[in-house]
Amino acid sequence: MNRFFADFLDEGIAVLNKSDYQHCKNVLRLKEDSEIFAVFEGKEYIAKITAYEDGLVKCKIIKETAYHREADVKINLFQCIPKGSKMEVIIQKNVEIGVFSITPVISDRTIVKISERKKELSKVERWRKISEEAAKQSMRNLIPKIKSIISFKEMLQNLYNSKGMIIVPYEEEKSLSLKNIDIKQSEINLIIGPEGGFEPYEIEELKKINAHVVSLGPRILRTETAAMVASAVLMYKTNNL
């Protein structure tokens, strides 16, 4: 059954996101009375399409499902932007794994440097669409938020004010493994470095705000692989796989 996120729900009537009108009507060719999953504010419902009106898809709620799809731990991924289309893959796969939010970061060794605001907004909008599609495909009850691009310094400020645990996989760490970290908080800030890794001074800055710098094993992983491996391990360690 097809899955959609609703913009509005009241008195048993749901209105799907405006962006879904063409896909729902002209691509999937769902007729009136077709049943779908409609998701609103983290809750999943079985609904029936009642009308296509003024560019909107209106649905009648049949019942709320009881299936629990979201993780009990919130993983906020701070990902240094890789070159090419790798960020798209990172977003898609980590949304499937179950991360809560993704923040693109520009660190010292980040190859991609975005200086034009218009270009930045275009990239972020593209990434948000990928997050929504991945959330639908993987049966999520929320669309992980793709936040605006920030600098390494801005990330430090955000993390300093966060109550979540900070975990930083780092290829030079030899003694502390992610598998040996005791996860106590319900929120985790996962920091993944760029191609070429973090500069030593950046790791020291992260340690100053009580980050746990860990190893992902004896092999060196690409940045896009590291994000997926670390997210999956954290989901496993918190009984969310």
**Residue 195 carries which side chain, given as an amino acid letter?**
E
Where does the chain hold its CATH 3.40.1280.10 domain(s)? Answer: 74-237
How confident is the model over 206-234, as pLDDT tens digits?
Answer: 999 999 999 999 999 999 999 999 999 99
Give the integer Cα–Cα distance in Å for 38 and 34: 12
Q: Name which residue leads in pLDDT, 23 or 74.
A: 74
Selection from 144, 185, 188 nearest residue 169 by Cα: 188
Q: What is the pLDDT of residues 71-105, one digit of tens each?
A: 999 999 999 999 989 999 999 999 999 999 999 99
Q: What is the pLDDT of residue 55?
A: 87
Neighbours of 149 (CB within 10 A): 18
Q: What are the start and end residues of each CATH 2.40.240.20 domain in the chain?
A: 3-64
Instruction: Give the 3-state secondary structure of residue 223.
Output: helix
For domain 74-237, the CATH superfamily is SPOUT methyltransferase, trefoil knot domain (3.40.1280.10)
Given a cut of 80, whether residue 136 has pLDDT beyond it is yes
- Tell me yes or no: is domain 3-64 CATH 2.40.240.20: yes
